[in-house]
Amino acid sequence: MIDEKLKSETKYLFNRNWEEDLPEEYAYECSDKAAALIAEYGWPSVFEAWSSYLHEKCDTPDSVINFAKLYWQYGGEEYPIPEPHKFLGYMLYKLNCKTYEHEGGDIIESLATNILSKAGYREADLYLNPYYNVDKDKKLLAAAEYWKQRNEV
C-alpha cells in the first residue's frame, strides 16, 4: 500500500507537462521534492508510487512520454528497479511499440539503455553494444506484448 502523502507528492510531480516553461525556482523545487521523497521513503517505495502513477494515469502516448521525461528529470534512471524489462515494456505497450514514430522515442531509448545497463543487461550497454535499439530488443518487445495481452483480456 502506497502512503497517501507519497501518492499526493507523486501526483504533484508528474501531473504537469514537462515542456512547460517553468520558473527556474519551480523546476528546482520539483527536483528537490523528488530527491526529498527518495530520502524520506527510500527508492523502492518511491518507485512503486511512480510506477503506479504511470499505470493509473498515463493512458496515451503523450502522457507516457511526459512521464518518461519527468522520470528522467527527477533522476529515476539513476536507481535500480525490479523487473526493468516489465517497467519499460509497459511504456512500449502504451506507445504501441512504435517509439520512433512518436516524438518521444529518444527518451525511451535513453531510459532503456540506462535502466537496463544498471540492471546488468549487457546488450543495452552502449559501450559494449553501440548498436542497441529498443525496437529490436526481444525481451522488451516480449514485455510489451505481455502488457498488451494482459490489458486486452
Count how many domains the chain has.
Answer: 2
Could you tell me if residue 20 is inside a domain? yes
Q: Work out whether the CA dihedral 70, 68, 52, 116 comes out positive or negative.
A: negative
Buried b (16+ CB within 10 A) or exposed e, 27-64: eeebeeebeebbeebebeebbbbbbebbeeebeebeeb
Task: Examine the pLDDT at 113 and tell me if it is beyond 90.
Answer: yes
- Pair (148, 84) in one structural domain: yes
| Same domain, residue pair 54 and 85 | no
Range of the domain at 141: 80-153
Task: Say if 23 falls within a structural domain.
Answer: yes
Taking only the tens place, the pLDDT of each residue in 13-42 is: 999 888 777 777 777 888 999 999 999 999
On whether residue 72 sits in a domain, the answer given is: no
Do 85 and 43 lie in a common domain?
A: no
* 3-state SS class at 74: coil
Tell me what the mean pLDDT of segment 120-135 comes to.
90
User: Does the structure show a pLDDT above 70 at 147?
Assistant: yes
**Interval 81-107: pLDDT, tens:** 999 999 999 999 998 765 545 556 688
Q: What is the pTM of this model?
A: 0.90
